[in-house]
Each structure stands twice: as C-alpha cells, then as structure tokens.
Amino acid sequence: MTLREVFEPLRSRDELAFVPYQTAGFPTLADSLANLRTLADCGADMLEVGVPFSDPMADGPTIQASSQVALEQGVRLADVLAGMRGLDVRCPRVMMSYLNPLMRYGREKLLADMQAAGVCGLIVPDLPLEEADAWLVAARARGISLVFLVAPTSTDERIARVAELTDGFIYAVSLTGTTGARRHLPPGLPAFLERIRAITDQPVVVGFGIGAPEHVRALRGKADGVVVASRIIDAIRGGEDWVELAKDLKAATRA
C-alpha cells in the first residue's frame, strides 16, 4: 500500500488518518515493535517509527528521553530496519530520523533496506528542501516518499515548493516549537491549515503537540491526518492505559 492510497478513501469518508509514533528501542526494541503492532490493531492508518539520535534538536523532552533509553541499550539503525522487516502489519510505515545517522548508514543502502523492510516514507527534520535534491532523486527511484515539513513560519512560496515535490503527504508542524504533548491546540493552527489548503490539495498530516481526542476532532475537515507521538510515549512510560487512548484517538478521527 502506498502513502497515497491511505488518504484517498479516508478523504472520501471525511475521516482523518491516525498516525501514531513510537521511538524504536523504547522501552526496548522488542516492546516498541510489539507496541507498533498493537497500535495498528487499534486502527492506525499509518505508523511512524523514530530512529534514535543522540542530538534530536527538533524534539522536546519526551522524545529526547525515549531516544536516550534506546541508545543506552545500543539500538542501531540496522536493528530498527530488521525489526521493521519482520513487522507484519497492513498499514504503511514511515521512518523518522536526523540526517547524521542516516548519512552514516549510507543513503543508497538505507533506501534499499527501507524498501526491503516495506518502509515507504522518510521524514528527516534537519533536511530542508534546499539540501534534499540527492535524497529526493534516490528515494523516488526506490518508490519511497521523502516527507517534507512545513511550519507556521514557512512562506507561501516554500509551501508551494514542498507541495510540488511531495508524492506522499505534507507534514504540517502545528506550532513554532519542539515536539511534546500540550493541553490545547495552538490558536493559529486552523488559519495555518487554511493557508496550506489554499496553496495545495496534497494530503496534509498535522503533528507536534497533538495528544487528546478533542484535538483530533477539532482537526477534522481541516487536515488529512494527525501524528500523535509524545502523548502516547508519556502514557506508556506513565503506565496509563495507552491502548485505550489509542482507540479513543482513532475513534475521534471519524464522524
């Protein structure tokens, strides 16, 4: 299933894609893979898997700490790819990491191994479109979508350029800030999403700070999907009933 095929049926049903995130290796690699399978069973439309990096500058405390836990256990990119290969879920998987560990692994080898593992998208927060030419060409050759982020500070021109280069979805960063659960949606978010929608019809998935079913409900009709990351990791760490939370989040994507 390609990323595109996720959004078309959901759009026709006025439903958001639910995209939960897990840091690979938190609390252990085996646990994170099992949790991804559980999240797929809870109705995830796509899974986002974070490959830990020692210096995650776009991430807030929750994902920093979960990455640290993974790195302390020696979880490596090769282990994550092997785990993804064995992950028997039907929904598409995308991977997120920072540029340095990806470059170190090697661009061609990474994309080949992602393809073999059935990972169809790649999110790299420190790879802006000006620096992404070689990655775009190589990813396309493997049928892998390079996912660009747009932020409230992005100009209309840049959003249009991202839309042109997008063959999966656009990741809309909900606010100026790092990742991490927040109580309320940013007040400027609806206007930001309208601004994107006026520029492009590409699927738009919103992330950063989204964690409650009412957040998700408020975004219906304004976007194509939501990423929920830190909130689920906080729930796992805090011993909350995160499976119930995931089910509630998915339920909130539907009418």
Partner 1 sequence: MKNLAASPGTFGRFGGSFVPETLVYALRELAEAYDASRADADFQRELDALLRDYVGRPTPLYYARRLSAHLGGGRIYLKREDLAHTGAHKINNAVGQVLLAVRMGKRRIIAETGAGQHGVATATACALLGVECHVYMGAEDIRRQHMNALRMDLLGAEVVSVESGSRTLKDAINEAIRDWVTNVETTHYVIGSVVGPHPYPTMVRDFQAVIGRETRRQILEQAGRLPDMVIACVGGGSNAIGMFHEFVADPDVKLIGVEGGGCGLESGKHAATLVGGSPGVLHGTRSYLLQDEDGQILETHSVSAGLDYPGVGPEHAFLKDSGRAAYTLAEDSEALEALKLLCRLEGIIPALESAHAVAEAIKRAPQMPEDGVLVVNLSGRGDKDLEIVEGLV
CA distances from 45 to 168, 179, 205, 217, 222 (A): 14, 21, 12, 16, 17
> Of the two residues 21 and 98, which places its CB atom closer to partner 1 in the complex?
98
User: Using the rule CB under 8 A, which residue among 108, 133, 156, 244 binds partner 1?
Assistant: 133
Q: Any contact of residue 151 with partner 1 (CB under 8 A)?
A: yes
Q: Return the structure tokens found at 104.
A: 């170190």
Tell me the per-residue interface mask from 178 to 207 with partner 1, x by CB under 8 A, - otherwise.
Answer: x-----------------------------
> Of the two residues 20 and 56, which places its CB atom closer to partner 1 in the complex?
56
Q: Which stretch binds partner 1 (CB under 8 A): 81-89, 98-106, 211-219, 220-228?
A: 98-106
Size of interface with partner 1, in residues (CB under 8 A): 41
Q: Which stretch binds partner 1 (CB under 8 A): 8-16, 174-182, 194-202, 221-229?
A: 174-182
Tell me the per-residue interface mask from 42 to 71 with partner 1, x by CB under 8 A, - otherwise.
Answer: -----------xxxxxx-x---x------x
Instruction: Indicate which residues carry an active-site annotation.
Output: 48, 59
Q: Any contact of residue 163 with partner 1 (CB under 8 A)?
A: no
> Where does this chain bind partner 1 (CB under 8 A)?
53-58, 60, 64, 71, 76-77, 98-105, 125-128, 130-131, 133-134, 136, 148-155, 158, 173, 176-178
